Amino acid sequence: MQKALRTIFLAVPVALAGALPAPVQAQTYQIDCAILLCLAGGWPASVPCARARAEFIRRITPWPVEPPLQIWRCPMGAAFGGGAPISPTERLFDIAMRPPLEGPDASRPATLPLIEAQATEQADIDISGDAFDFVRSIRVYHIQYSQRRDREGDCNRHDATRLGSYGTQGDYRWTRSSVGAVPAASDLAVPEHCSGYSWRSVFVDWRDHAGNYGFEEVRY
């Protein structure tokens, strides 16, 4: 079962790319469904996945720092008339292939208010199983750190680092963290001694459905 599910996740983004050859058509998929699929598949090379990854990174580029995957915007629990029940991955593929909504909702991603730090919305299906561990693997470190010695020789350190993470059902929250918890893949390099140093960035990392590690960092 796990092997079959992995095959679906890896194949869907490639199929999506092949089904949308023209630049205009490539914009018709629902972006958070595309992010979900492409992230699971390790961001395969395709126009839809390139756009999905660009949006994923744009959301963590200040300001504000948004949840990079907003899974509540991907309607995986949508009902389909007739036929046998389909799996969550098949639902994702079907939704991602739909044309955009007509009318006021067509520009929804651009017109919605900014996402607050805490996002209590959740996926509209149960994603608590192992198949969706890649969603919960996403970590966003908003790093704000500085240090310097004062005139008395004391080392003054300021660490306002926060961690954004996903709950069992895809809800997103911020908690206090520290530079000591930031993964080694970050370019953060706090000096061993208290020399003047300042660093501000947003670092995001994840593991795809196969367990492969990936990350991005945006300085500001």
Q: Which tens digits make up the pLDDT trace of 10-45?
A: 433 433 444 333 343 334 458 999 999 999 999 999
The tokens describing 125, both together, are 């299906």
Query: From first to last of its 220 residues, what are the pLDDT tens digits of the chain?
Result: 344 344 334 433 433 444 333 343 334 458 999 999 999 999 999 999 999 999 999 999 988 899 999 999 988 775 444 455 555 555 555 555 555 433 333 333 333 343 434 556 898 889 999 999 999 999 999 999 999 998 888 999 999 999 999 999 999 999 999 999 999 999 999 998 899 999 999 999 999 999 999 999 999 9
Q: Give the separation between CA 129 and CA 57, rounded to whole angstroms.
A: 26
Looking at residue 103, what is its pLDDT? 34
Looking at residue 72, what is its pLDDT? 92
Q: What is the CA radius of gyration of the chain?
A: 20
**Angle between helix 47-58 and 31-40 (nearest 10):** 100
CB 199 within 8 A of CB 191: no
**CA triple 80-86-88, angle to 5 deg:** 100
Q: H or E stretch including 92?
A: helix 88-97
Looking at residue 49, what is its pLDDT? 92
